[in-house]
Chain A
């Protein structure tokens, strides 16, 4: 039968975290090694009569330095002692090397050996009290932490051999990912972390080796201790982030007014506009060449919520904490500032790192050109926004550079939804047809090809006769594309419908 946890002998790993050994220099061969008794050894004779599993504190004759520690370590090894504690004056690096060679735990202390031995004896004789003391110390350490990473740092440090991670969904937010990996002889301990609204926000996960130095119930107690600190840190970081977001948004608005937005043309002297000093407070760089990035949802749905902004900020600023992220309209603006307008390497790296997050959040990304000063920044922002609109045609995760857009960008501004409504009203017969998608696609291809049936059939991958037949049916249903007065309107309409249907995929009818 398993012994009750309160009477299990205390381990070296536990002792090392409390009381007199907390600040000691540790060379532990096996932190899981139990300690049954403490012996204060004054002489080698005493050492020679030690029973196994005791912790020996060397003192007086047995700790004269040089040879004595080497000899004591050897004797301790012969007697299967748990660990040897010795004062710093006696130990040197060679002693640590020898201890490692003999697989003997060596603990180097700065305090008086007799006092340390007395304290240790008390702890070893009452393991439950020692464990309680350890948890109290842990609670103090956790209370000092103000950030999520700090709390996880304390947990991982204080639970040696037990990786701990904080997860949201299946994603590790902080701590060691090893906590989530399935390994043999480990048991998982999980604790829910709630937000203020009693919603389960995350989960503390620890992988506890079994059998190991830390019992399951102990780890679970420690994780529960960490919960309030974690919740507080969480709430504070949300609060901080919200305040910063509002600050940045206001600052960006001010900057835009300074530059005389909305205005696409840059003033004749880009340096004429002075960079306001308050941008530096936010850590922004504006004075040099700015290249703006516009992050926007594929399907814009008004202004994004604070929660989404928080998440986007977290992943965008990973590794680029100085880069701004300002919620603006239906997307977010960021920019990179540098002395060399041609140098976009840092931005390319950041975009590559952000790609997964962009896909996960269904974002498209537009990148403007590099322009100087505040006015240049605003121009680049406009370019980036345009590029992002173009990118929406392709799908989430796409990065569109303004340099590669050209006049085709105009199409990106078409209000496809509204135009589709026009089609619903004016081309009722066509919109009621089951094969409307194929017909619209064919007409668009023919118009795109300037009326050339052979080019259109090649592009669509069907026979010329099929194209002809579809065109005839389209004309019957009201798609009179060959009337010059209606050609532009119908071309735009076909483009808008195709774009809309490609996006949603809902109106697709089965191909004939």
Chain B
């Protein structure tokens, strides 16, 4: 068997050729996101990498501990970003604003979340600033709020942070307590254009050695290569399992889509709805998949078998590709894949922040029973 072409393992740099794989891998770690911003951001990044040369991808341990580092991500909705594309200087402007405030020069960029479009914009920012990208991030997938990070759990403050909108306007936030920052920002994102370029968690590489999740950028590149290879779904699940620890909990057909939003009184803003899948083999269980802005829990015959912070996604068996949540139709044959999140999220503090209870599901997580 030949290994997938260009298997990167621990990557040394990111070139224009790696962009499609990065994009696919980033999608795997945030299955809710549609394809709205794909072509523009990918093309932009590929162009940048061709002009400015590859971006070095460094392990956190290989960077001097006193190197100042800052994370970037996209704040707000992906469809707004497709409507109002970036002018190009938003992320650099955000980083420069913190540099001016703190009177430092950042020596490395890292993604706040190595998933979604945010994984790509971190590479964009590093290429524009001509600094290396750290092979680490704060989430290891995506979570809804900006303080849902390993850095926050390790006591690193997200502020001072700067959000720059596509209109060129910017917001600087300084708060003593991380969770307040998100509330302040959320009110501003709509005003600056529906989305904003965020630079946050300015710190040094030494702190990131203990606070960030290592190896997550090269992981998405590896996952992306597998997905682009489009093997048979069974082979794909096996290979993904080797890289991410993911497993298939069931294969079934979608029988019902509940679109109605239910009232929810929880910390994370989202419209709850659910999906019913009839397992086609094995025990032919009835799976109920609970959706917020992502899949937050999977029940088999009413028993909880997976839940946040596990990463759950659906693989469209007929296409051999990941199914985004807005593309599901009754009758689709899907594999339900569950990938464990990074270990930090299963700690009591992590579970409290991003676990099932934060989605209004007061049940014990199957991994903690």
Which A positions have Cβ atoms within 8 angstroms of B?
43-45, 61, 64-67, 70-75, 77, 92-94, 97-98, 101-102
Contacts and interface: CB of A to CB of B under 8 A. Distances in A.
A67 B304 CA distance: 9
A97 B276 CA distance: 11
B362 A75 contact: no
- Most A CB contacts (10 A, CB to CB) among B263, B290, B302 go to B302
Contact of B256 (A64, A75, A93, A102): A93
Interface string B260-290: 0011100000001110100000000010101
B258 interface: yes
B87 interface: no
A127 to B, nearest CB: 30
Nearest to A68: B361
Given A61-B362, A66-B288, A67-B290, A94 B276 contact: yes
A65 B256 CA distance: 14
Given A44-B363, A66-B262, A74 B286 contact: no
7 contacts: A61-B362, A66-B273, A66-B288, A67-B274, A67-B361, A94-B288, A101-B301
Contacts of A94: 255-256, 276, 286, 288
Given A92-B258, A101-B286, A64 B360 contact: yes
B363 A71 contact: yes
B81 interface: no
Contacts of B242: none
A67 B297 contact: yes
A313 to B, nearest CB: 53
A72 B302 contact: yes
Given A44-B363, A98-B286, A66 B272 contact: yes
A101 B285 CA distance: 9
A56 to B, nearest CB: 13
Nearest to B256: A94
Contacts of A64: 262-264, 272, 360
A98 B301 contact: yes
| 4 A-B pairs with least C-beta separation | A74-B302, A66-B274, A94-B276, A70-B302
Nearest to A94: B276
B302 A43 contact: no
Interface string B344-367: 000000000000000011110000
B303 interface: yes
Contacts of A71: 299, 302-304, 363
Contacts of B360: 64
A188 B286 CA distance: 42
A44 B364 CA distance: 11
Given A94-B276, A101-B286, A67 B299 contact: yes
Interface in B278-316: 286, 288, 290, 297, 299, 301-304
Contacts of A73: 302
Nearest to A64: B262
B288 A70 contact: yes
Given A61-B362, A77-B302, A92-B256, 17 more contacts: A44-B363, A64-B262, A66-B273, A66-B274, A67-B297, A70-B301, A70-B302, A71-B302, A73-B302, A93-B256, A94-B256, A94-B286, A97-B286, A98-B288, A98-B301, A101-B286, A102-B302
A75 B364 CA distance: 13
A44 B297 CA distance: 16
Nearest to B360: A64
Nearest to A66: B274
B113 to A, nearest CB: 26
Contact of B303 (A43, A61, A74): A74
B290 to A, nearest CB: 4
A44 B302 CA distance: 13
Interface residues of B, number: 23
B362 A44 contact: yes
Contacts of A101: 286, 301
A70 B299 contact: yes
B316 to A, nearest CB: 21
Contacts of B286: 70, 94, 97-98, 101
Contacts of A72: 302
B132 to A, nearest CB: 44
Contacts of B274: 66-67
Nearest to B289: A67
Contacts of A44: 362-363
Nearest to A78: B303
Nearest to B297: A67
Q: Which of B286, B297, B363 has the most CB of A within 10 A?
A: B286
A67 B295 CA distance: 12
Nearest to A93: B256
Nearest to A69: B302
A94 B289 CA distance: 12
Contacts of B290: 66-67
B61 to A, nearest CB: 42
Nearest to B285: A101
B235 to A, nearest CB: 32
Nearest to A44: B362
A131 B275 CA distance: 41
Contacts of B362: 43-45, 61
Nearest to A74: B302
Nearest to A67: B290
Nearest to A98: B286
Contacts of A75: 302
A467 to B, nearest CB: 84
Given A92-B256, A94-B255, A97-B286, A65 B262 contact: yes
B303 to A, nearest CB: 5
Contacts of A98: 286, 288, 301-302
A277 B236 CA distance: 82
A71 B366 CA distance: 13
Nearest to A45: B362
B60 to A, nearest CB: 38
Interface string B236-262: 000000000000000000011010001
Contacts of B304: 71
Nearest to B273: A66
A72 B288 CA distance: 13
Nearest to B278: A97
Contact of A102 (B255, B263, B299, B301): B301
B356 to A, nearest CB: 10
Contacts of B263: 64
A64 B361 CA distance: 10
Nearest to A71: B302
B35 to A, nearest CB: 26
A98 B297 CA distance: 17
Contacts of B363: 44, 71
B305 to A, nearest CB: 11
Contacts of B301: 70, 74, 98, 101-102
B299 to A, nearest CB: 5
A389 B272 CA distance: 82
Nearest to B260: A65
B299 A74 contact: yes
B187 to A, nearest CB: 28
Of listed A43, A67, A70, residue having the most chain B CB within 10 A: A67
A93 B302 CA distance: 14
A67 B286 CA distance: 12
B288 A67 contact: yes
A74 B304 CA distance: 9
B282 to A, nearest CB: 14
Contacts of B255: 94
Contacts of A93: 256
Interface string B7-24: 000000000000000000
Contacts of B288: 66-67, 70, 94, 98
Nearest to B277: A94
A79 to B, nearest CB: 12
Interface in B176-196: none
B327 to A, nearest CB: 20
